[in-house]
Amino acid sequence: KGCNLPSHCAKRDPWYSIKVIDQEKRDAFFTYRVASLPVLILNDEGFCCTNSLHYVAFNDNISAEKKKWIQVSLLSVFSLVDVEYNARVYGSNVLKVEPSALTKVRVYCPDCPLSPKVYDEISTLVEKGERQQVIITASICIFKAMLLDRNVVQTICTTYNQLRQQRMGCDGVIDFGALYQAIDLFA
């Protein structure tokens, strides 16, 4: 139907073909072209995917619990500030998170259990597309585990909003009032 005619498509193998890789480890996928919220998707079933997702392979010593902490951390402001800073902007203010940029993203992965209730709440919010609430809920979880004080949290959140505003204008700014209130409760 002509989808293969633009110059970008003509230079590459067809995007719609799926190559099964020999690599056994396809532990997760990471969305790498996103307008609002990049997501790490755990791949317990060993699926393959098209090139709109990056394969992620964890070291063998990473437990299922730590994989969930990494997943939640990547949804928090703690990690997202690195995503915004290191990723490239790709047409229409979309972030393109290449593997080299993803390796620079910090995650927090404590040696304590992640509340199944909190994990399920975050998963449900992701499914519903509640981007701002996902970020706030994941950030509360991560910052609580890190025991950061309000000033540090505010600095991280302000930096994140400044980076998003540069890329997206005022539409990218998040109201972190609920996050600050939660920080005050466990401080």
pLDDT digits (tens, 9 = 90+) for 146-172: 999 899 999 999 999 999 998 888 878
**pLDDT mean over 84-109:** 89
Q: Pick from 185, 168, 17, 178: which is nearest to 89 by CA?
A: 168
In angstroms, the Cα distances linking 94 to 34, 38, 84, 160 are 5, 11, 10, 16
In angstroms, the Cα distances linking 73 to 15, 104, 105, 119 are 30, 14, 10, 11
Q: Which one-letter DSSP state was computed for residue 34?
A: E
Written as six digits, the tokens of 11 are 């230079």
At which residue do the structure tokens 């919010």 appear? 125
pLDDT at 29: 82
| Helix, strand, or coil (residue 17) | coil
| Helix, strand, or coil (residue 55) | strand
Q: Pick from 157, 101, 145: which is nearest to 119 by CA?
A: 145
Q: Pick from 43, 108, 100: which is nearest to 80 by CA?
A: 108
pLDDT digits (tens, 9 = 90+) for 28-77: 888 777 777 888 888 887 777 656 567 788 888 999 999 999 999 999 99
| Helix, strand, or coil (residue 93) | coil
Residue 117: how many CA atoms within 13 Å on its side-chain side?
0
- Specify the pTM: 0.81
